[in-house]
Structures are given as structure tokens and as C-alpha cells.
Amino acid sequence: SNMLRHEKSHKQIKFQCGRCKQDFTRQSNLTDHVQKKHGFVKYGSEYNLAMGIAVGQQQSISSMGIVNSVASTLNVNDIIPQQVPTPPAPSVKRAKTNSARNIVKFKKARIGMVNTPGFIEPDSALDRTVVWYYRGNTENCASYQTFLESIKLELIEKINYCVRINPIKYNLKLESVYAHRELPAEDRAFKTMSREAYIHSDVRAMVDEDFAALMSEEDRYMKKGSGFTLSSIDGLLLGIYEHTPLGGSSYIPLPENIMRKKAVINPMNIDDDCFKWAILARHVPVGHRNHVGQNYYNEEHRYDFSELSSPTPISEIHIFERRNKGVSVNVYGLKPGKGGKVGKGGKGEKVGKESVVYPIRVVENEKAEHFDLLVIEGSERMHYTYISNFSRLVRSQKTLHTNRLFICKSYAGRGEVLGFNGWANMQRHPFAIYADFEALLEKQTERVGASTDGIHAHHPMSYGYFVKAAADVPVALMEKYNIPQTPVIYRGSGSRDEVAKHFVASVTALTIRLGNLLKATNVPISMGVEELRAHNAKSVCDMCKLGFTETRWKVADHCHLSERLRHTLCSPCNLKLTTPKFVPCFLHNLSKYDAHFIVTELGYNKESITVIPNTEENYISFSKRVIYLFIVHIHSLVKIPLIDLPNSNL
């Protein structure tokens, strides 16, 4: 503020450039001076040294003295004298400057401590729960690959040594210097995310992944095109953080809504072996599962629980699976659902009043002996329970129905793609039947219900149907199997009242003839020169778009009713395009009207009937088996498509 700046002028507080010793009354003026006159990059090492001194009017420290002080003693107090007054309200920019300056100082301090190869311990914190180790580039390796490969075994040994003492989290920081033709050199650091490591972890594989992540970050930096190039590699900083993973501990009661479902067995234990008791709960006799006692001790021989910690973290479950062949374990957790609240459960533990089950650990393949465990989390601990009925536990999350659900617990892995392979269902059928009824309305006065009077009785008086064939179906073939090529009309009369029954019989006979035609006809393929050239030029399947191989060879798919080439397919896709075993029959307004005429007539024989209902009175479609493995599908058609009908003999 203006008042603060005015106060500084009376106290003769000035900001001095560490390079040319020029004094400024405002820090912003010093910033402009350092960047414009000296050309230092913001937060670079030279920039930090030039900006890092605020002195009184009578105090003067040369820039060379500062550089020598940093190189020799590496003492923070030598860089910032204690008697230098501090501005009463440091800005955000000032805080960033101090942070960047401290990073440079600590880095120089680490480099100054390195005299021999190997990791050294420059610092620790929080009673050694956080420890840093530094490996300098004492061999003066010029490339990252050479440096990282030279220290790889040392790094693996150091991490393994730490995890033998306690589970840890660690991360890596690769420090180096980048030079520029026109700008001062910059200190750069590439970091990895912290990750957990245990005594059973594959540290070598983890280190390989970390090195790849460092190189990936360095590659992204170089692709930005800043003009900086690698000048020297300083070293690698290893951060070790003591990690206490959340493991199964003593008893925690179930949330009330989970308890009501009676789908989870929660053994009441007084030790830290709740993982063991949750596994054994499956074999304990019904009625004695809620308390751990001799009933559980009698079942301990079933599985090998050695090498497991007590309490058992989720990360060690794979050890149990490895020690017990044919066993797999999924772990699920609880979280508050939408609209639910998080309240207090037994003994002050937080539980969700409306809890939702979610997966924590899911195996790819469930083994012969598979266990589903539910984890109840408290404020500082967790407790394993056994899911005895998975469907009952999660059913309310999926549906309001009360029937049992069969749930797929696995999910697509990384890199897996969901694809479509029902190509056979996309092929056009060579035949389709279009039909419609007309009804006669007879007046009636019969009372239907307590408050309903019948006005008309609907009696089917006639029907018509037309067989639409694909354009490439030969006429001679249709004549051979007596397939009508003109509309067929049937009218009832006083002596011929069974119009619906006649329709079902007529369509059934037609369907049988169409089935025989499709089954018996297989005209050999005939390709022209252009078709053959196009077929030979294709390298991928027209259906699945996969390339042809020795196991997926190229096949010319053709219409069996004609000699026409349809597709160039791979052999698996070609096998899926089988001859249709049904004929579709579309009726105008079937579900709301015509279905009532024919539904009672479909049971003329003992062949199966399937129905897709919309309501108890309206039906979407029927399927009637007419002969062995051949079906007529009767569907509703709201709008009849435009079809060029030939002249018919009515």
C-alpha cells in the first residue's frame, strides 16, 4: 500500500541488485531492472541471486561476496543477513521468489555434500518419518539413460532396505541444469508421483516404471521448444515416507441399512485377524457365525494364512491367493449414497445411513473358491466382513425388483475395446410378409360390466397379405416353390366365418414353403472381372474391419438365392452369416387391434409360441414355430412402407 511504501522511505529500506549494486526503493523496480537490464530469466539461479537482497542505506554487500559465500559456506544466513529488515506484508511474488531461492540453496547444499558414489542422507523430518536420500552424478554421466542405469541397482537396494523396516511411499526427483544460447542456465527437476512399496513388492519393475515416467516428463519438456538443452546432470533425490496402510482391525458394527439386508456376515473378533475370520465365515455352521470362538478355530486348517500381516492390508490379499491355489478374493467398500447422510455408528465410527457398495479390488477371473468381502471403514481402522449373498446386498442399487440378480463383477481392463459382432442380425432378409385385417362391426346392446355397455362387436371379415422378395431373388425360384408374387385377398362370408383361423393356416403354409426354399437353394457364386479385382484388392474384412491372417482368411460371401457377390469377409464373420431360419410377418396396427383376432388361433398345434407383451392386452410381437427350427415372427407395423404392388386377382 502507499502507507507502507511511505514508511519504507523514512526507514531508508531499499532493495539492492545483487549484480550491479544499484539500489531501488520498490521491489517491482528491482524486478524490472533485473529482467530488462541483465536479461535474467525469472526464478532462474542468477535471477534469484540478483533479487535476494534487501539492505539498509548504510549496508552494502558485493555480489561477488554473495556468490563466494554461497559456494563456500552454503549458509542461508550468509545470503540473507539477520539485521536486514523484512517488509511487513510480503507479496505472493516475494513468497514465490523465496521458495525458488530456497530450492536452489538446498540443491547446492546437497551437491556440496556429495564426495563419493552412493546415496547420502542430506536431511530428514518429522522424527525420521520422512527421509531424503541423494545420489549425485559423481561419474559425470552426460545422458539420463547412462546415469539412471548406473544407479539403478543402488536405488533398488536402498528401497528394499527401507521396506524391510516398514512399508513406505517414495518418489524420485531427477535434478539437472539446462543451458541456453542467449539466456542464463536454468535448474530443472523432473519428478514422479509417490507410490506405495511393501516387502513383497516388485521394486525392480517399479523403478523401471519410474525411470520411464521421468524420461516421459523430460521428453514433454523438450518438445515445448524453449531453446534450452541439457548441460549437466546433478543427481537423483529419493524421498522416503513412512507408510502405515489401512488394514483390517478389530470389530466394527455394520451400518443399519446393510444389516437389514442380511447379506453380510460380520464376525465379532477382539484381535486384528478379521481378514482370516471373514474368509472362514463361509465354513462356519449357520447360527454360530457372528462370534469368533472355537467354531472359527476349527476351520483354520482350510487355508494358509502365513506371510500375512495383522491387521491385513488390502495390498497383501494377493499373497493369500498365491498361497492358496484355486482361491480368489474381491473386496468392496461402502460410501454414502445420493441423499444419504453420514452419521455415527457403533463406538463412534462413521457409517453411511444410506450406504452404497462400490468395488475396491476385483479379480479378472474368479476361481473355484471365490470370496466377496465387504470392508467397513472407521476413522482410523477398517474391518473385513464376508458377503454371503452378493445379489441381496447390491440389488437395491440396481433395481426395484425383488428377484435375484446375476451380476457381472468384473470390468473391461485397460486397453480393451467394446465392439459389435452381431453382423448376422444386420443382414436384410430376402423375404417379408405384409398383412392387414378388415373387420365388420355388428351392433350390440349387451352389458359388458357394471358401468360399461357394448356398442359394437368386431368380427374379422377379410385379410390380405403380400410377399415382398428381394430384387435379386429369381422369379423362377419363387414359381418353383409356389410363392405368390401378387397380393393375396381372402374374404369371409356367412358360411366362412373363421377368417382369423384361415389367415394363420395360410401364413403357416406360406412360411413352410419359404423355409424349404431357403434351406434347399444354394446357387454357386459367379463374379465378373471387376468384382474379382475388387475382391482381391481388399485387405480387411467388410464386417469386423480386421485384417486377413492365416487364421482369418479371406472369403467371398455371396447370396445363396442368386450368384451375386455380397461381401469380402474373414472366415469367422462368414460363418456367422447363416441362412435365416425365420420369416418376418408385419401386420398393420397389430398390438392394438389385429392381435386380438389371431392370438387365440396360434395354438392350432403343439409347437411353441413366444410373446413380447406391452401390457396384458397389447402385444408387440408373436413368434410361432411352424416346422423344426423354422419360425414365423409376427410384428406390429404402424406405417406400411411404400411397395410397388403388381396387379392382383381380387
Alpha helices by DSSP H, 52-125 = 63-72, 76-79, 92-113
Would you say residue 84 has pLDDT above 60?
no
Angle at 315 (CA atoms; ends 304, 284), nearest 5 degrees: 40
Average pLDDT over residues 476-482: 91
Distance CA 545, CA 498 (A): 53
pLDDT for the residue numbered 153 = 93
pLDDT for the residue numbered 467 = 93
pLDDT for the residue numbered 628 = 61
pLDDT for the residue numbered 589 = 74
Alpha helices by DSSP H, 166-224 = 203-223
Residue-range domains of the chain with CATH: 2-110 (no CATH), 114-242 (3.30.1490), 256-398 (no CATH), 424-650 (no CATH)
Would you say residue 415 has pLDDT above 80?
no
Given the DSSP bridges, would you call strands 264-265 and 168-179 parallel, antiparallel or unpaired? unpaired
Average pLDDT over residues 319-336: 90
| pLDDT grade for 107, boundaries at 50, 70 and 90 | low
Average pLDDT over residues 47-51: 75
Among residues of the chain, what percentage have pLDDT more than 90?
A: 19
Would you say residue 172 has pLDDT above 80?
yes
Would you say residue 223 has pLDDT above 60?
yes
Average pLDDT over residues 136-161: 91
| pLDDT grade for 164, boundaries at 50, 70 and 90 | confident
pLDDT for the residue numbered 350 = 43
pLDDT for the residue numbered 65 = 35
| pLDDT grade for 150, boundaries at 50, 70 and 90 | very high
The pTM (predicted TM-score) of the whole model is: 0.41
Cα Rg of the chain (Å, integer): 41
Would you say residue 527 has pLDDT above 70?
yes
Distance CA 498, CA 604 (A): 13
- Helix (H) / strand (E) element for 319: namely helix 317-323
C-alpha atoms less than 13 angstroms from C-alpha of 169 in its C-beta half-sphere: 10
Residue 311, preceding peptide bond in cis (omega within 30° of 0): yes
Q: Where are the beta strands (DSSP E) in 319-387?
A: 327-336, 342-344, 350-352, 355-361, 369-377, 382-387
Residues belonging to the chain:
650
Q: Note the Cα 386 to chain centre separation in Å.
A: 26
Backbone angles phi, psi at 157, to 5 degrees: -65, -40
pLDDT digits (tens, 9 = 90+) for 551-563: 889 999 988 888 8
Average pLDDT over residues 94-99: 50
pLDDT for the residue numbered 45 = 63
Q: Of residues 14 and 548, which shows the higher confidence score?
A: 548
| pLDDT grade for 98, boundaries at 50, 70 and 90 | low
pLDDT for the residue numbered 373 = 93
DSSP string for 572-607: HHHHH-PPP-EEEEEEETIIIIIHHHHGGGGGGSSS
- Helix (H) / strand (E) element for 144: namely helix 144-165
| pLDDT grade for 60, boundaries at 50, 70 and 90 | very low
Give yes or no for a contact between 189 and 235, defined as CB atoms under 8 angstroms apart.
no
Q: Of residues 100 and 337, which shows the higher confidence score?
A: 337
- Least confident interval from 353-367, 426-440, 535-549, 623-637: 623-637
Backbone angles phi, psi at 618, to 5 degrees: -110, 135
Q: Of residues 95 and 260, which shows the higher confidence score?
A: 260
Would you say residue 406 has pLDDT above 50?
yes
pLDDT digits (tens, 9 = 90+) for 270-308: 888 889 999 999 998 877 788 888 888 888 999 999 888
pLDDT for the residue numbered 57 = 32
pLDDT for the residue numbered 6 = 60
pLDDT for the residue numbered 215 = 92
Q: Note the Cα 153 to chain centre separation in Å.
A: 35
| pLDDT grade for 181, boundaries at 50, 70 and 90 | confident
Nearest partner of 328 among 283, 395, 373, judged by Cα:
373
Would you say residue 262 has pLDDT above 60?
yes
DSSP string for 31-47: HHHHHHTS-PPTTSHHH
| pLDDT grade for 4, boundaries at 50, 70 and 90 | low
Torsion of CA 539, 542, 547, 550, to 10 degrees: -90
- Helix (H) / strand (E) element for 503: namely helix 499-520
| pLDDT grade for 236, boundaries at 50, 70 and 90 | very high
- Least confident interval from 191-200, 430-439, 513-522, 601-610: 601-610
pLDDT for the residue numbered 351 = 41
Angle at 502 (CA atoms; ends 501, 505), nearest 5 degrees: 90
Would you say residue 209 has pLDDT above 90?
yes
User: For the chain, how far is it from start to end, CA to CA, in angstroms?
Assistant: 101
Would you say residue 413 has pLDDT above 70?
no
pLDDT for the residue numbered 54 = 35
